[in-house]
Every structure is written in structure tokens, then in C-alpha cells.
Structure 1
Amino acid sequence: MRPQDALLLAVVLFLGLCALVGGEKPSPCQCSRLSLDQRKNCGFPGITSDQCFNLGCCFNSSVAGVPWCFNPLPSQASQECVMEVSARENCGYPGISPEDCAARQCCFSNAIRQVPWCFFPKSAKDCYY
């Protein structure tokens, strides 16, 4: 097998695996609320927006020098709760329950230690593709 054939086979296998793993198009908040320095590449050189979205990734080619196809922020139950951890503003107290947090009309996520688990939501109006 020639080196070119092996490279072509690797690309085809990669794309096939990505198609199997690929998910639905991320929400606008999952993409637009991610800071440029936090983008992690999710594609390959020359990827189109459709190919990128088919992988379940975000696409924005408006800024040079950063990945255009990148992993989205984690999904939340409400778009108002999708944000970087550094953007969370505390809405509760240590050990607050999800129910008490919801009673304050705030977002709750205890997936990451040492950050606010109960935090104020953001308006989804500022999210865009």
C-alpha cells in the first residue's frame, strides 16, 4: 500500500467514525458563549460548516487564528444556563440543593467542584450562530 493510499484510508475511516459519533447541531448558546481561547478543534483543515455541524460541533469562521470547527459548551436543561464556568455568578450557598436553587429561579449544575453550583441564568437572546 502506498503512503497516499494509507492517508486516504485514514481520512475515510476518520470521517466514517465521526459520522457515527456525530450528533445533532449544537444550540446557538453552546457555540456563541464559548470564548475564543477556549475553542478546542473538532474538525479538519477545509471542513465546511455543514460537515462540522454534522459532527455535532460549532462552526464560526469569522476569526482567523482560532479553530473554526470547535467543540460546544455542554448542553443544559435550559439555554439560559449554558455558559462557561468562569461566567457563573453565584446564586446560592455551599451545599444548596437543586430544588432550593430552582426556587430561586437559578441554574444548577454540580458537575465541577469549586465553582458555583447554583448560578444566575443568562438571557438566551444574546445567543447567535
Structure 2
Amino acid sequence: MGPRGAPLLAVLLVLGLYALVEGQKPSPCQCSRITPQNRKTCGNLGITSKQCFNLGCCFDSSISGVPWCFLPLPNQESEQCVMEESARKNCGYPGMSPEECAVRNCCSSNLSSDVPWCFFPQSVEDCHY
């Protein structure tokens, strides 16, 4: 490759890195299952929905007085398991193994010790953008 090909290669490299850094749009459950009062701001004032989704965040401008671009709920193995911790209904017992939780067709997440880590799934019919 000659000296003229180097700038083209640099541009392609930058575009490729940008594509890797650009966020993925969160799942509908990660966005619609977070209560408005628990939204944490993501992005700046006046951000568009496309810019917000490109950051990997949720966008909902239907409620005034709360952030429109906000951080999503943590991703789970199944959409049925994506919910706020306060919405979890216990499906297990102390000392239960993850395998026993799975046998009960329940969700598990040990990110917080203050809430049930083995909990019942929710239908995804209520998830939307």
C-alpha cells in the first residue's frame, strides 16, 4: 500500500472503532419496566431518541418531569427476568442453589443481597418502547 492508501486505511479504522463503541439499543423490557421515579439520566438535555439509543440507553418522552433518556435495567438471560428489584417475588429459599432455582423455572440474579435472588419470571407482553 502506497502513501495515498494510509489516510483511507485510517478512516476505515476510525469508522470500524466507532461501530464497536456505539451502544446497542436496550430490550423493550429493560426500558418499560423501570418506574419513572427510578430513572437515572443518560445523555444530555435535548438528546434525540436515536442519540439516546446509540448510547445504549432508553428513551421515553411521554412523562414530563423525569429523565427522557435514562439507563436501562440490567440485562438478564431471559426477557422474563428483567425487572426492578422491588418487583421480584421470591421463588426460593435461603441456601437454594442456582440449579434448584432453574428447576422451578424461576429467574436468578445475585447482584444484590437485599432482595430475592431466585424470583418468579414476568410475562413479556407488557414490554414496549
Provide TM-score, normalisation by structure 1: 0.83
Q: Which residue of 1 aligns with 2:15?
A: none
Pair 1:22–1:39, CA change in 2 (3 A): farther
The answer to whether residue 83 in structure 2 is matched with residue 99 in structure 1 is no
Quote the residue 1:120 is aligned against: 120
Q: What root-mean-square deviation, in Å, do the aligned CA atoms of Structure 1 and Structure 2 show?
A: 1.5
State how far apart, in whole Å, the 2-side matches of 1:83 and 1:42 are.
Answer: 19
In the alignment, the residues of structure 2 paired with residue 38 and residue 22 of structure 1 have an alpha-carbon distance, to the nearest angstrom, of 25
Give the aligned partner of residue 56 of structure 1: 56
In terms of Rg, which structure is larger? 2
Percent same amino acid among aligned pairs? Answer: 69
Give the match for residue 86 of structure 1.
Answer: 86
Unaligned runs of 5+ in 1: 1-18
Equivalent residues, number: 112
* Shift, 1:20, TM fit: 7.0
- Give 4+ residue runs of structure 1 displaced > 6 Å after superposition: none
What do residues 81-115 of structure 1 show as CA deviations (whole Å, max 9, x unaligned)? Answer: 00000000000001211100000000011111121
Displacement after TM superposition at 1:21 (Å):
4.9
Matches within 5 A, 1:1-129: 21-129=21-129
**SS class of match (2:43):** coil
